[in-house]
């Protein structure tokens, strides 16, 4: 099958790396994501990734521990770098070339974010992992995903989650919730459907970047999405 999307930005939450653990990184989940990513890279899809840090530290939880919000957000950004190192390492054991890029400079472990260099890596078939969020506090990794997708001219943001799309209500709490196959940006805003935080979502809307929300834990789903199969929910 031909690929529907040539350049994608995959958004993974930090929590998705935990598997059934309560924190940290599950080796099985890491391996699963590496295999899924390898499938699309082998098909020639230019792949960028933004990964969260919630499996290690969440900035918003910092208040409870007496840590100031800004400092907590920086701790969260550092957690995304740790996740990025882990993912890059496992990708390379699968024969996929990866480059870890950080919005916070730490030249011993990651390249600094330089837009044109990141695009060149993608053109050469390397996976680019964007870590460190936006480099500024008060922005989530969803906002980082929307920003980087805009900067690299990605065709789509693929939001890999543990649910198979966007529902009228939380399907884990409301059994009557029904799934959308496609939904407009405006409807998401009016109905307050939780896709991304509003800053990220507005950025996608302004730059006309569609979002696909899908279940990444299902084998082969990532490849099916890039081939244009109707998996998950398309926001456009």
DSSP string, 131-159: ESTTSSTT--HHHHHHHHHHHTT-SEEEE
Chain segment 126-180, per-residue pLDDT in tens: 999 999 999 999 999 999 999 999 999 999 999 999 889 999 888 878 888 899 9
pLDDT at residue 1 greater than cutoff 90 = no
- Taking CA atoms, 1 is separated from 100, 134, 154, 204, 225, in Å, by 30, 35, 20, 27, 12
- Count CB atoms within 10 A of the CB of residue 98: 22
* Range with the poorest average pLDDT among 26-30, 60-64, 205-209: 60-64
pLDDT band at 59 (very low <50, low <70, confident <90, very high): low
Kindly state the average pLDDT of the residues 19-40.
94
* Total-model pTM: 0.95
Q: Which one is the CATH code of 7-235: 3.40.50.10860, 2.20.25.650, 3.20.20.240, 3.40.1160.10?
A: 3.40.1160.10
Chain segment 89-122, per-residue pLDDT in tens: 999 999 999 999 999 999 999 999 999 999 999 9
Q: What is the pLDDT of residue 60?
A: 62
């Amino acid at each position: 099958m031909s690929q529907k999307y040539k350049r994608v930005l995959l958004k993974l939450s930090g929590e998705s790396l935990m598997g059934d653990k309560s924190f940290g990184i599950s080796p099985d989940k890491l391996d699963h994501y590496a295999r899924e990513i390898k499938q699309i890279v082998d098909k020639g899809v230019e792949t960028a990734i933004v990964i969260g840090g919630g499996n290690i530290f969440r900035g918003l939880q910092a208040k409870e521990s007496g840590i100031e919000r800004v400092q907590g957000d920086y701790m969260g950004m550092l957690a995304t770098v740790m996740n990025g190192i882990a993912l890059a390492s496992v990708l390379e054991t699968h024969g996929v070339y990866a480059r870890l890029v950080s919005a916070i400079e730490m030249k011993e472990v990651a390249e600094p974010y330089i837009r044109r260099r990141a695009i060149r890596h993608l053109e050469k078939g390397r996976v680019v992992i964007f870590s460190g969020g936006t480099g500024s506090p008060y922005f989530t990794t969803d906002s980082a995903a929307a920003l980087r997708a805009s900067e690299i001219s990605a065709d789509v943001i693929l939001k890999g989650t543990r649910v198979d799309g966007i529902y009228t209500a939380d399907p884990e709490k409301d059994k009557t919730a029904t799934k959308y196959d496609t939904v407009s940006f405006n409807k998401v805003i009016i109905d307050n459907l939780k896709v991304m935080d509003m800053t990220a979502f507005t950025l996608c809307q302004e730059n006309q970047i569609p979002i696909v929300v899908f279940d990444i834990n299902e084998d082969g789903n990532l490849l099916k999405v890039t081939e244009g199969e109707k998996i998950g929910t398309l926001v456009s």
